[in-house]
Structure 1
C-alpha cells in the first residue's frame, strides 16, 4: 500500500493541534507528580502497551488513568511530541532514555528510530553504553553495530574501564574474531593479561600491587626450588601458593580463563620477545594450558626453516590483518 506524503503530512498536522489542547482528551498518564492528558485512540494506535491496557478491562481503563514507573516526565513529554507531531526529538543525550521508554511502551517505530539514530551516532565516547543497552533491550542491530565498532577500535577500547568489565565470553569472542583490528598480536596478548589482572572489587590503581605480589610469589618459588634442590619432575611451574606459604588475597577466577583465552589468539604471530616474557610471567607459569600455548608458539617461531609448509591456526593472520 502506497502512503501519499501529502496525506500523511496532513494527518500529522491535524493531530499536532491536539498536543497542547485539552479538547477531547480522555485519558491521563501520571509520571511522578506530572500528569499528561492524552487521547486513547492515539496511544492505542502507536503503543502496544496502551493498546493491551485499554483492551484488558483493568481498573485503569475504568478510571481513565494510569501511573507509569521507570519513565521520566521529560522523556514521556518528548515521546508524546513524537506521536502527535512526528517531530525528530532524538539527541545523543536523550536517545537511551527514549529508547528504553519506547521499548517499555512497545512503540515499535520509535524503537527502530532510536536504533537507527544510535547506529549513525556511534563514537568512542558512547559505543559501549549503547552496546550494553542494546543487550538489555535485545536489539541485534545495535549490539551488532557496537560490536563491530569495538573490533575496529580494539586498541582504544582496551584503554577504557569498560574493557575490564567484559565477560569471559565477550572477551573470548573478541580475541578469536577474524575481524579484530590490531597493529600487532602482541597487543591482543597484553589486553588479555590486563583483563585477567583486573579484580572487580579492587581499584584499578591497585593492579600494580597485584603484579608485585605475583612476582614475589614467583621469586619465592624459584628461591625455594634452588634451596631445597627439588628433584624429579617437580618444577617451579608446579608450585602453588600453598607450597611457598604465600597467599594471593585476590580471587583467581579470571586467571583460570587465561589458557582458553591465549589458545584462541594468533599466538604464533606474537613476537619471540613477548612470548619469552610471557613464560617468565608467574600468571602464565601457574596455568598449564596457558604455559603450553606460549611454549608451543615460541617453539614454532624458532623453527622458521623447518616448518615443512605446516601452518597451525595460531599462525594464520586474521582476515582484517594487513598481511592477509
Structure 2
C-alpha cells in the first residue's frame, strides 16, 4: 500500500532542533526568508523527499532548493489543498519569490491562486503588489472586483489607493454595480483630495531637499501626472447627472471645485440639468443609467394599452393595464416617472405609473390636450378653452392653476420645451405658415416669435446636449435658436422626406434619432446628419396612438408581464456605412 504522509502545522513541528537552526532557503542562488509557517512546511517537505523523517541529521540540501523542487512543493502543499493554512500571507511571499526567480510558469500559478483571494480584507495588499509587479492578470481581476463591490470598497476607504486609470475605468464602466451615484461622485472627490495631499507632501519634501543642495536656486517642480489636473476628466467620465441635487450642491462648494474651474463647470452643469431635467427627448451621456436593471425605452399608447420600445433590444413590451383607462391620449415624463392622461368625452384623468402599477393623481376637465412637463409642473394646453392648466402632481392635494391664452394665440397644435420657455406652434389661415408663441417659465411671460414655414400639426421636438430641434410632418428638421435680442429663430438643417406624416414623437438616444409616425416611408428617404445623429430608427403604426416619449424604467417592470410582439406594420430603418463611405438605409423586419 502506498505510504501517505501529512504535514501538520502544530507546535511539535516547530520543536525540531534542525528547524530552529534554519533561517533562510537558497533557491536558484537567491536567498529567501519566509514566515514561520512557510519555513516549517518547506523544511518538512524537504525532509520527506530525502527520506530523512526519522533521521535527526541535518544536511545543507534541506535548505538548498532547485526551482523545480520549489514548484513541486507548491503543487503538493499549496495548490492541491484547500487548506486554511495557506492564506494570502503565505501566497504573498511565494508570489514575491516567483518574481525574483523570474519563472513565468511559477508566476502564472501564483497569480491564479492570488486572484481567487481578492476580498475586502486583501484588496489593498493584492492591488499594491499587482501594480508593483505590473501584473495585468491580477489588475483585471481587481478591476472586476471593484465594479461589483464599489460601494463597500469606498465605504472602508480603499478608493484612495486606486490609480487614476483604474478609477476612471470603474466610474466610466457600464458594468459598475451601484444604486446610488452619489457614492461614485463622492469617491472621486475623496480620491482627488487624498492624492492632492500626497502630492503636496512630496513637493514639500523635494523642495526641502533642493533647498539644502542649493539655497540660491528657486525650487520649481514640474508636476507631471498631477491628480488634481485629472480630476475634471474623472468627473466627465462618470454619470454625474444621476447624482442627487443635494449631493451636487454640497460638492459644488468643495475646495477642489474652487481650485479647478473645469470641475466646477461639470458640477454646475449637472445641477442645471437636474433642476430642468423634465426636457423633451434627451438624456445626455452623463445621465444615462448604467445598471442592467434599468432600460431606456420609447413609450407610446394605443387605446388603453401603454407599450415600451426597449431601445437596446428593438423590442416592444406591454406595461400593465389599468381598468380605469378609457383612451390614453397623452404621455409625459415628470420627475422621472411616467404620467398618462386618459380621456372620455369631456373629462380626463391623470395617472402615474409607479411600482409596476397605475395610481390615480387628479381629475382634469376637458380633453384633446397638448401635454408637456417642465420645471415643477405638468403643463396641459387646452386649446378648446384657451387655457393652460398647470398641475403640480407631487403636492398633496394636487395643485392646479391656469394661464389664459393671450389674444395673439389661436389654434395651438404642438408644443416644445425649449430652454427657459415653452414654444407653442399654432395653425394660421395659411397651410404654409404657422405661428410661434413663447411662454417663459416660471414668469409666465408671453412673446410673439413670428412665423415659420410649414404646418403646426404633428410637429415634434428633440434635442441633443446643447441644441434644440423641431421635426415637422413634411420631414424638415430645423434648429431652434435664441437670438441676442431674446427672440426665437429657426434654421433649416435637412429635409428627411417629402410626404406628409403625422408624427407622434422624436428623441435622440446614444446618437440615434428615434422617430415614431403613422406613415410608412421608403428607407432611401433617410440620411444621417453629421454632428447630430448617425442613424435613424423610424417606427410607425397605422392605428391611432398617443405621443411618443423617452423614458427609463426598471427592467422588472417590463419582463414577466408579457411581450408585445412586433407586428408587420412596424419597421426599423437605420444606416450602415459601406465601403464607398456613403450611407445606405437598411430596413429591418
TM-score (normalizing by structure 2): 0.33
Q: Does 1:163 align with 2:162?
A: no
Question: What SS does structure 2 have at the residue aligned with 1:304?
Answer: coil
Pick from 124, 127, 146 the counterpart of residue 128 of structure 1.
124
- CA 1:82–1:140 in structure 2 vs 1: closer, same or farther (change >3 Å)? same
> What secondary structure is seen at the aligned counterpart in 1 of 2:78?
coil
Determine if the alignment matches structure 1 residue 200 to structure 2 residue 198: yes
Number of residue pairs aligned between Structure 1 and Structure 2: 217
Please give the secondary structure, in 1, of the residue aligned with 2:248: helix
- 2:193/2:256 contact within 8 Å kept: no
Which residue of 128, 142, 145 corresponds with 1:146? 142
Q: Which runs of 5+ in 1 are unaligned?
A: 1-9, 14-31, 39-49, 51-66, 204-252
Looking at structure 1, the residues matched to 96 and 107 of structure 2 have their Cα atoms a distance apart, in angstroms, of 8
Mapped pair 1:89 → 2:87: no
- TM-score, normalising length: structure 1: 0.57
Comparing 77-86 and 291-300, the one that deviates more: 77-86
Give the Cα–Cα distance (whole angstroms) in 2 for the partners of residues 126 and 320 of structure 1: 28
* Alpha-carbon distance in structure 2 between the residues aligned to 1:254 and 1:103: 30
Contact 1:181 1:321 in 2 (8 A): no
Does 74-83 or 282-291 show the bigger shift?
A: 74-83
Which structure shows the bigger proportion of residues in helix conformation?
1
Distance 2:74 2:257 in 1: 61
Q: Shift of the alpha carbon at 1:73?
A: 5.5
Runs of 4+ in 1 over 6 A off after TM superposition: none
In structure 1, C-alpha distance between the alignment counterparts of 2:105 and 2:160, rounded to whole Å: 35
User: What does residue range 299-314 of structure 1 map to in structure 2 within 5 Å?
Assistant: 299-305=272-278, 307-314=279-286
- Return the offset for 1:33: 6.3
Greater C-alpha Rg: 2
Bigger RCO of structures 1 and 2 (CA < 8 A, at least 6 apart) = 1
Shift of 1:87: 0.8
Corresponding residue of 2:248:
275
Counterpart for residue 293 of structure 1: 266
Cα separation, 2, equivalents of 1:86 and 1:167: 34
SS in structure 2 at match of 1:136: helix
Residues 121 and 321 of structure 1: CA distance in aligned 2, closer, same or farther (over 3 Å): same
Asked if residue 68 in structure 1 is aligned to residue 30 in structure 2, the reply is yes
Q: Which has the higher strand share?
A: 2
Matches within 5 A, 1:8-23: none
Alignment match of 1:316 (pick from 288, 293, 297): 288
Shift of 1:294: 1.3
Query: Matched residue of 1:89: which SS?
Result: helix
Q: CA RMSD in A?
A: 3.3
Q: How far, CA to CA, are the matches of 1:168 and 1:68 in structure 2?
A: 35
Instruction: Please report how far the alpha carbon of residue 287 of structure 1 lies from its aligned counterpart in structure 2 after TM superposition.
Output: 2.1
Whole-Å Cα distance in 2 between the matches of residues 290 and 298 of structure 1? 13
Query: Aligned-pair distance for 1:256?
Result: 3.5
Q: 5+ unaligned residues in a row in structure 2: which ranges? A: 5-21, 46-66, 80-85, 202-225, 295-553, 556-589
* Whole-angstrom distance in 1 between the partners of 2:154 and 2:267: 22
**Which of 119, 129, 133 matches 1:137?**
133
Once the two structures are superposed, what CA deviation does each residue of 1:302-321 show, in whole Å capped at 9, x if it has no partner? 2233x231221101111456
